């Protein structure tokens, strides 16, 4: 099993995704699971941005000294811009579902909720 040789940014993105996945798998508090999902989302965004990076080039804003050949790829950044906003909206929606669950069961522990329902 050889260790794959990847850049530190990819490593960080994968680490963030895995930390979020761990929280979503192991934690029992619904809020902590949601925090894990948010961390995973951050990791995916970091991965997209770092794939679009071209070393030595600057942000894709064509001002003085930055021509079309000296800028990084604008498309991943546009995608991440949309992904962040959608992430905020979906997190808000998930949180309001959690509020409803707490009002009904008076607990946020997923195992207790499962037992109460069953």
Q: In Å, what is the CA distance from 38 to each residue of 1, 11, 35, 87, 95?
A: 31, 18, 5, 8, 12
For residue 116, state whether it binds other proteins (rule: CB under 8 A). Answer: no
For residue 65, state whether it binds other proteins (rule: CB under 8 A). Answer: no
Report the greatest alpha carbon distance in the chain. 65
- Smallest gap from residue 88 Cβ to other proteins (A): 7
Number of residues counted as binding other proteins (CB under 8 A): 52
Tell which one of 41, 42, 65, 99 touches other proteins (CB under 8 A).
Answer: 99
Nearest to 33 by CA among 109, 117, 92: 109
CA 99 – CA 105 distance, rounded (Å): 10
For residue 48, state whether it binds other proteins (rule: CB under 8 A). Answer: no
Tell which one of 31, 58, 93, 106 touches other proteins (CB under 8 A).
Answer: 93
Tell which one of 29, 38, 42, 50 touches other proteins (CB under 8 A).
Answer: 50
């Amino acid at each position: 099993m050889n260790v794959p040789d990847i850049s530190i940014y990819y490593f960080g993105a994968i680490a963030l995704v895995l930390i979020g996945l761990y929280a979503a798998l192991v934690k029992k508090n619904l809020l902590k699971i949601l925090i894990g999902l948010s961390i995973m989302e951050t990791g995916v965004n970091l991965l997209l941005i770092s794939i679009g990076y071209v070393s030595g080039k600057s942000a894709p804003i064509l001002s003085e000294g930055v021509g079309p050949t000296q800028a990084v790829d604008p498309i991943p950044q546009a995608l991440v811009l949309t992904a962040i906003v959608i992430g905020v909206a979906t997190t808000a929606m998930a949180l309001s579902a959690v509020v409803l669950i707490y009002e009904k069961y008076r607990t946020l522990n997923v195992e207790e909720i499962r037992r109460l329902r069953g």
